[in-house]
């Protein structure tokens, strides 16, 4: 089976999840070609799993100081290029398209009537789950940004809906030497000055912050260590830290939960998915949230010792097995298996 797999390049979560699934698909004999959009060709990915990917502009949101800038986003849209990319792509050799909320591959499939499976957290919002209902346009965007014939949504709980648990990278284990004073900070949409003002007063803690640009050196700044993104160092800090402060994406909180780390999230303002994720974490008792960068919220959270560990096992292999059967008439059995494994 030859597959076209589209990966949304914004952030690192889509890449992490898709890499796990692609690895299993290839082990089962599938040939998988990959499209990235929403990122540059310097995107970090595993070349042993994703070979010679194709890069497209796609669509991205413009963000500044923790808030989506709608006007700048509209200015940055390149609809002509998007349509040209779709029209110029030849999908004839592909049996199936899989999209991890990536629009170019999804619309290639729709235009050429190729079967398309959507796999990712965003597709969970097509079901009746906790979500921010203040902006109906956002749910319309979820439905049409990267449309799929069949969707496999992911979440931290099934909410009695046909969705599966998150995909956790293989090999993630809890460190035997957890550092109670170490806090991992990943707030890519906030400015460094804002991050420093937020956490520097808490001198009894050490903060490992991933906010430097690629190529910059690690910088020590009192109780803060500033890092460029490094997958190896990031996962080491995640395993050893006491807790995680991050935006309210999906993959990093999922990984933190699988390791039993306490979580404090700050949703990106104006971002439907992140606001909804913060709601779900609070509702499920899995983490805490703050609507803005707030020292009092951080102080209260740092004083808490309660953590929750949630086991999600081998979801990627179940998805790959289901894809390779070629029977997409129902996701019921897949959903049942993945929650049994959790």
What is the C-alpha to C-alpha distance for residues 187 and 209, in angstroms, rounded to an integer? Answer: 8
Residue of higher predicted confidence among 137 and 89: 89
Residue 70 pLDDT exceeds 70 = no
Sorting pLDDT into bands at 50, 70 and 90, what band is 65?
low
Pairing of strands 206-212, 182-186: parallel
Considering just the CA atoms, what is the radius of gyration of the chain in Å? 20
What is the C-alpha to C-alpha distance for residues 196 and 251, in angstroms, rounded to an integer? Answer: 24
Strand partners, 248: none
Distances (CA, A) of 108 to 18, 111, 143, 334: 19, 5, 16, 26
Between the two ends of the chain, the Cα-to-Cα distance in Å is 29
Map out the domains of the chain with their CATH numbers: 2-167+314-341 (3.40.50.2000), 182-302 (3.40.50.2000)
Kind plus residue range of the DSSP H or E element containing 237: helix 231-240
Residue 127 pLDDT exceeds 90 = yes
What is the C-alpha to C-alpha distance for residues 6 and 110, in angstroms, rounded to an integer? Answer: 13
Q: Quote helix, strand, coil % in the chain, to nearest 5.
A: 35, 20, 45
pLDDT score recorded for residue 76: 61
Sorting pLDDT into bands at 50, 70 and 90, what band is 104?
very high
pLDDT, average across residues 198-212? 94
pLDDT score recorded for residue 88: 94
Percent of the chain with pLDDT over 90: 70
User: Model-level pTM?
Assistant: 0.90
Contact 286, 156 (CB under 8 A): yes
pLDDT, average across residues 79-95? 92
- CB-CB neighbours of 170 under 10 Å: 12
Residue 71 pLDDT exceeds 50 = no
Residue of higher predicted confidence among 159 and 42: 159
Digit-coded pLDDT (tens) for 319-328? 999 999 999 9
pLDDT, average across residues 4-29? 93
Digit-coded pLDDT (tens) for 256-301? 999 999 999 999 888 889 999 999 999 999 999 999 999 999 999 9
Non-local CB neighbours of 288 within 8 Å, separated by 6+ positions: 262, 263, 264, 265, 281, 282, 297, 300, 301, 304
| Mean of the per-residue pLDDT values of the chain | 90
Residue 238 pLDDT exceeds 50 = yes
Residue 289: Cβ-neighbour burial (10 angstroms; 0-12, 13-18, 19+): buried
Residue of higher predicted confidence among 161 and 133: 161
Residue of higher predicted confidence among 341 and 15: 15
pLDDT, average across residues 24-37? 97
Sorting pLDDT into bands at 50, 70 and 90, what band is 138?
confident
Residue of higher predicted confidence among 184 and 308: 184
């Amino acid at each position: 089976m030859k597959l076209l797999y589209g990966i949304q390049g914004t952030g690192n979560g889509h890449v992490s999840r898709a890499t796990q699934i692609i690895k299993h698909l290839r082990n089962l004999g599938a040939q998988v070609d990959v499209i990235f959009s929403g990122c540059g060709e310097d995107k970090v990915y595993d070349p042993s799993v994703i070979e010679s990917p194709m890069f497209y502009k796609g669509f991205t949101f413009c963000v500044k100081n923790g808030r989506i800038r709608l006007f700048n986003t509209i200015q940055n849209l390149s609809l002509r290029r998007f349509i040209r990319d779709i029209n110029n792509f030849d999908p004839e050799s592909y049996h199936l398209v899989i999209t991890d909320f990536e629009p170019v591959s999804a619309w290639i499939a729709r235009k050429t009537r190729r079967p398309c499976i959507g796999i990712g957290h965003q597709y969970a919002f097509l079901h009746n789950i906790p979500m921010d209902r203040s902006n109906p346009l956002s749910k319309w965007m979820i439905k049409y940004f990267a449309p799929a014939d069949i969707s496999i949504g992911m979440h931290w709980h099934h909410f009695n809906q046909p969705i599966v648990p998150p995909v956790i990278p293989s090999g993630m284990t809890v460190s035997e030497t957890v550092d109670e004073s170490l806090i991992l900070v990943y707030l890519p949409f906030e400015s460094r000055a804002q991050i420093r003002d937020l956490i520097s007063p808490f001198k009894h803690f050490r903060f490992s912050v991933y906010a430097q640009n690629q190529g910059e050196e690690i910088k020590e700044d009192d109780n803060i260590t500033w890092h460029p993104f490094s997958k190896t160092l990031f996962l080491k800090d995640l395993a050893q830290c006491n807790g995680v402060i991050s935006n309210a994406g999906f993959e990093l909180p999922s990984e933190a939960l699988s390791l039993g780390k306490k979580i404090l999230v700050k949703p990106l303002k104006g971002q439907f998915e992140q606001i909804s994720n913060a709601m779900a974490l609070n509702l499920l008792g899995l983490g805490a949230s703050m609507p803005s960068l707030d020292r009092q919220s951080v102080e209260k959270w740092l004083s808490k010792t309660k953590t929750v560990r949630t086991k999600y096992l081998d979801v990627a292999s179940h998805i790959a097995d289901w894809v390779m059967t070629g029977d997409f008439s129902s996701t019921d059995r897949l959903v049942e298996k993945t929650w049994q494994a959790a």
